Amino acid sequence: MTRLPNFSPVRSLLRLFAVIIVVLASGTAQAISLMDPLNLPGTLDGGVTRAGQNIAYGTGPRHKLDVYVPDQIESTAPVMVFLYGGAWRQGSKADYPFVGHAFAAQGFVTVIPDYRLVPDVAYPDFLNDNAQAVKWVEDNIHLFGGDPERIFIAGHSAGAYNAVMLGMDPVYLREAGVTAPVRGVVGLSGPFAVYPFEFAELQEAFGHVDNPQMTQPINMPTSNTVPLFLGHGSSDLIVSVENSTAMEKKFLADNHGITVKIYDGLGHMETVGALAGIYRWRGSVLDDVINFLNSLGAFDPEGFGPIELVPEPDEVEQAAVSASSVAFDLTQRYFGGELPDLAVN
């Protein structure tokens, strides 16, 4: 019988499917996260310690953050603040150790905050929470070996919207008291151009705003924008890929630089899922993001070696690609409820 290597893409996919099947069959979906397969023991990137857990950055119960640090830091390390998604109404930092490990293994001190959600709050409260978390980073990250002069922000889905808004409109960070520069922003599968608000999730988050067009990154001026990397799956069934391509057109029309990468065949959850060791074979998202951040001076070139690119999957792996994409997006719907296709309007 043919044996699969321990960390082969096919073995990783089989493990992922096995966990999903067990979860679905158990009937306990509310107690188990979609992200659990990505945090399986033995699949998280090594050389990383969660050095801080449930650290308060504000006064509310959701004003807590976790800090992941590389085991080996020479002098100080760049800092990544990761903002998760969930349509601004769900999500938890407890679901994202795989992201903390992924970036910390690449040399970043990584911070993952919780923040307040709809319906308890609405725009711009979640942005203000994220800015407050960045202020905590500026004031405290040196205690964990991080350099407050090299702060980067990344996010997925609604978190990508949050990250990009912080990168495009300086008012949020300024009002939080942040004076350190944000060197770059990464947005994965973000809803950047979804006005008018046709769906309940959007209406709950933004429907009360007097000038709703200016809640959208697509309508923000580009002049003050920090360097942006936008990644999106071409097969995203939840947030249309046109959200990112429209941003690219806007920035190019304004003669402002932007990096946009479209991942052929990836679905909505796969852009963040591909950061995980068990699913990294699916796409080069992590490598592309690290290369982008490195181009902005995140690392000392003499202190870090070249980044290995993810090899192309072989024929066996390709046969599993379409099934894995469907599994991710359908499982997202099973756990989080049916989410609309947030197409560009």
Q: Average pLDDT across each block of 10 residues of the chain; the chain has 345 residues. List them in order.
A: 41 50 46 86 96 98 98 94 98 98 98 98 98 98 97 98 97 97 97 95 96 97 95 98 98 96 98 97 98 92 37 41 48 43 57
Give me the torsion for CA of 178, 184, 189, 194, rounded to 10°.
Answer: 60
pLDDT of residue 74: 84
Q: Is 343 exposed, middle or buried (0-12, 13-18, 19+ CB in 10 A)?
A: middle
| CATH classification for the domain delimited by 9-336, as one of 3.40.50.10540, 1.25.40.10, 3.40.50.620, 3.40.50.1820 | 3.40.50.1820
Torsions phi, psi of 139, nearest 5? -85, -25
Q: What does the angle CA 149 – CA 150 – CA 156 come to, to the nearest 5 degrees?
A: 135
Distance CA 136, CA 20 (A): 36
Distance of alpha carbon 221 from its chain centroid, rounded?
A: 23
Q: Which residues of 153-176 are buried (b: 16+ CB within 10 A; e: fewer)?
A: bbbbbbbbbbbbbbbbbeebbeeb
Question: Residue 243 to residues 95, 151, 157: CA-CA distances in angstroms?
Answer: 25, 25, 11
pLDDT of residue 343: 57
Q: Please answer whether residues 22 and 288 qualify as being in contact, where contact means their C-beta atoms are separated by less than 8 angstroms.
A: no
pLDDT of residue 8: 46
Domain boundaries along the sequence of the chain: 9-336
Looking at the DSSP bridge assignments, the partners of residue 154 are: 82, 186
Q: Under 8 Å CB-to-CB from 304, ≥6 apart: which residues?
A: 107, 294
Strands 228-233 and 48-56, bridge-based pairing: unpaired
CA dihedral (94, 156, 81, 16) positive or negative: positive
Q: What does the angle CA 308 – CA 258 – CA 321 come to, to the nearest 5 degrees?
A: 50
Looking at the DSSP bridge assignments, the partners of residue 152 are: 80, 184
